[in-house]
Structure 1
Amino acid sequence: MVDVLLGLQWGDEGKGKIVDYFAPFYDVIARFQGGPNAGHTLYVNDKKVVLHQIPSGIFHENTTNLIGNGVVLDAVTLRRECETVNSFGVDFRKNLYISERTHLILPTHRALDKASELQKGNEKIGSTLKGIGPAYMDKTGRNGLRVGDLLDKSFTTQYIKLRLKHQKLLDSMNFHEDISAWEEEFFDALEFMRQFKIVNGEYFINDKISQGKKVLAEGAQGSMLDVDFGTFPFVTSSNTISAGVCTGLGVAPQKIKDVIGVTKAYCTRVGSGPFPTELHDNMGEELRRIGNEFGATTGRPRRCGWIDLVALNFACMVNGVTKLVMTKADVLDAFDELKVCTSYVVNGEKTNQVPFQMTRVAIEPEWKSFKGWKQDVTAMKSAAELPGVMKDYVSFINDYLGVKVAYISNGPGRDQLIEI
């Protein structure tokens, strides 16, 4: 069977640590969508490591790691990551596999991403400029190059053909940046990639399942950034929800068992786009400061706000979440009062539903207030030790969502996770 672990907000929920925690209980960790815009932060031997493309099980010796066909892969980023992993004494060649159907991000995809964002001006979506959107566009446009193409002797010819097509687009957008250095680095990284175990991913993963192996599908970004169900157009270019596992790995829906949803105890968002519970005051600044809310991939300061149960309930619904993990609960230790959004007032009408187009309507959140626990929870090891006020906060969320918080993260360390 396959369990799924994914984010329920706008990404940055702390999924890397949670996957790292669960990894020893699984035989295979598989990435099913997204690209190097993901930033999964782990702490290995008390050192911070950010993984962008390699599945978060790579530091566990007996865990197989698969980059699935739903991912778009940047060979240069992958090479750098492998070097980082290697510096910890981990042989990435042993347990890292790549699906031959995985699409490649080309240097011209990065250029197109940058050109497109520059053209948008004030309406830019906050892209990480890593070429992910254009790579997915080539995938749906049936132009893209895939990892399996590397093994074909006509790869360079295919590359030149696609590059020329991209160059015409760049010329039409009046973008003339020299990307020759990017190309040199790209082809060096492709040579590096040839040493990997490139596999027929769908047969590979289904063979593991038929052997009774336990598989954990690792999501990137968050559910509210899903290309279909997120805050469009301020979304990513892939399906970040649990349905993306089927198309991103080649597994049937009935093979999916548990869907583990990760949410912060509050809310954050990087870049542009709707954020109904965003705080524009000192409270938002305090959340950012205490939570060290800066992007793992971009370093950009994250927008901060109280937890949004309307959006969270929506994410639980479309994912079929069976259990919740609440991260960064310790960030709320210092606050006298906490708030949760229980409904929206949209154009004067109260609703518990996420609107179709959040950018076109005025959304006012309705709040329920809670007393802060005003207690350091970072050293606590069991649910029994948690403050009563904190349990009330979590209990209300459980009842509202109809899904239980099964784990609470009370710090960045591997051991700072309390099972409820």
Structure 2
Amino acid sequence: MKAAVIGLQWGDEGKGKVVTYLSRRYDCVVRYSGGSNAGHTVDYGNFKMVHHLLPSADIKKQKMMYIGPGVVVDLDVLLEEIDQINNLIPESRSLLRISKQAHVVIPIYRDLDEKIDSSRANQIGTTRRGIGISYANRAMRCGLRLEDFETPARAESFLNEISRTWSIKFDVKMILDNLIEKYNKIRDLLIDSSEAVRVLKEKDLLFEGTQGVLLDVDMGTYPYVTSTNCSTTGIQPGFGYPVQVDKIFGVMKAYTTRVGEGPFPTELKDEVGENLRRLGSEYGATTRRPRRCGWLDLVLIKYAIETSACNALIMTKADILSGFEKIPICMGYKIGGKFYTQINNTAHLTEIEPVYEEIKGWKSLHSKEFDDFIYKIERELGLKFAYISTGPKIEEITEL
């Protein structure tokens, strides 16, 4: 069985907890995209774990973890996370494998990332962790891969090439020595992508997406997107091998949030939005930036489902809305005086007017009003919910 968990909004849907819960039914969790700009917080009850690079497998259940070649690796972050899980659950480190073909985020990328975003007429709102620069260098064929450190002279030549390509000067030897020192701490965990595919071929795999479909570099709200295919289209290249995914779980909040710049049709810039942020603790796991908050947007959810081939739904944070007397749901958009319930692209979201339908709120997730909310969304989207998250902890999930 091969399955994937992706976000149907702008990320921060609670995928980490969902992946950890579902991982118990799979042999291995595969991270296939993104870098340390992702932050998946998992609450085990007696401790919390924030995954930036490590797959969100249940470390208590000793599940295998694989970081594929589509991920860009910041060695500082990776080593910190490895130490953290090994301190929490001894020997967890031995369950991790990392593709030798994964690219490395070098320190100078962060400075470049900040410089480029700061110089834009309209800033993207990047996390400035060098992720976009790493993917750009990969595309320009001058990026460093983990395997390059096997031959220091080869790694040095790439660092020199990066210096020439970006017309910047830095101490190549100092950076190289620092990176090799860190590389040596994980070299026993490295594996060629082709070998990993052979090892995992007959395993039950759960592919972990980062961010959300609306941040996908191709299908998201471009240019206010991440630098990779974080939707299902990134699975095969991020795994490094053709793979048939049987089940695609799309995770959505009961409302909508966004970090960074870009269009947000249902954003609430008032006390209600502040209340949602406070109740939902809506602050970025990576940057701690306050998230923009708004009502559920079914038009964008439909778009995300269609472009990702999602075939099962999971809702999170419905408990945050408990106690609201009325809950608006965006059912469609007015564009040029016409009403639309679906869109073909995200290019004109700043020119639309959201059209809401108010439904009766609920005091408890066990109420008829909440059931009506769920049924309404299922009817509108044409898909069923497989799970409902009822709280922050891993076990607080109900299978439907």
Same fold (TM over 0.5): yes
Q: What do the CA deviations read for 1:368-405 (whole angstroms, capped 9, x no partner)?
A: 11110123x4xxxxxxxx21100111111101111111
| CA 1:20–1:393: 2 relative to 1, 3 Å | same
The AA in structure 1 aligned to 2:215 is L
Aligned counterparts, 1:51-130, within 5 A: 51-57=51-57, 59-120=59-120, 123-130=122-129
Q: What do the CA deviations read for 1:176-223 (whole angstroms, capped 9, x no partner)?
A: 9x99998776454223222x32112244234422x3x20000001111
Does 2:185 match 1:192?
Answer: yes
| CA 1:181–1:290: 2 relative to 1, 3 Å | farther
1:381 is aligned to none
The AA in structure 2 aligned to 1:248 is G
Name the CA distance, whole Å, in 2 between partners of 1:226 and 1:85.
29
Name the CA distance, whole Å, in 2 between partners of 1:364 and 1:286.
23
Name the CA distance, whole Å, in 1 between partners of 2:184 and 2:378.
50
2:4 is aligned to 4
Name the CA distance, whole Å, in 2 between partners of 1:147 and 1:289.
41
Does 2:393 match 1:413?
Answer: yes
CA contact (8 A) 1:107 1:186 kept: no
Shift of residue 240, structure 1, vs aligned partner:
1.0
2:216 is aligned to 226
TM-score by length of structure 1 reads 0.90
Shift of residue 70, structure 1, vs aligned partner:
0.7
Shift of residue 263, structure 1, vs aligned partner:
0.5
RMSD over aligned Cα atoms? 2.1
- What is the SS of the residue equivalent to 1:113? helix
CA contact (8 A) 2:249 2:313 kept: yes
Among 372, 377, 381, the alignment partner of 1:397 is 377
| CA 1:181–1:146: 2 relative to 1, 3 Å | closer
CA contact (8 A) 1:12 1:268 kept: yes
Does 2:203 match 1:201?
Answer: no
CA contact (8 A) 1:329 1:410 kept: yes
Name the CA distance, whole Å, in 1 between partners of 2:85 and 2:44.
10
Shift of residue 338, structure 1, vs aligned partner:
0.5
Q: What do the CA deviations read for 1:141-161 (whole angstroms, capped 9, x no partner)?
A: 111111111222424422431
Name the CA distance, whole Å, in 1 between partners of 2:158 and 2:90.
32
1:337 is aligned to 326
| CA 1:361–1:38: 2 relative to 1, 3 Å | closer
Name the CA distance, whole Å, in 2 between partners of 1:179 and 1:267.
44
Shift of residue 357, structure 1, vs aligned partner:
4.8
Name the CA distance, whole Å, in 1 between partners of 2:321 and 2:69.
38
1:149 is aligned to 148
1:25 is aligned to 25
Which stretches in structure 1 are left out of the alignment for 5+ residues?
378-385
1:46 is aligned to 46
CA contact (8 A) 1:71 1:103 kept: yes
CA contact (8 A) 1:24 1:60 kept: no
Q: How many residues align?
A: 400
TM-score by length of structure 2 reads 0.94
The runs of 4+ residues in structure 1 deviating greater than 4 Å are 178-187
Does 2:315 match 1:316?
Answer: no
Shift of residue 109, structure 1, vs aligned partner:
1.3
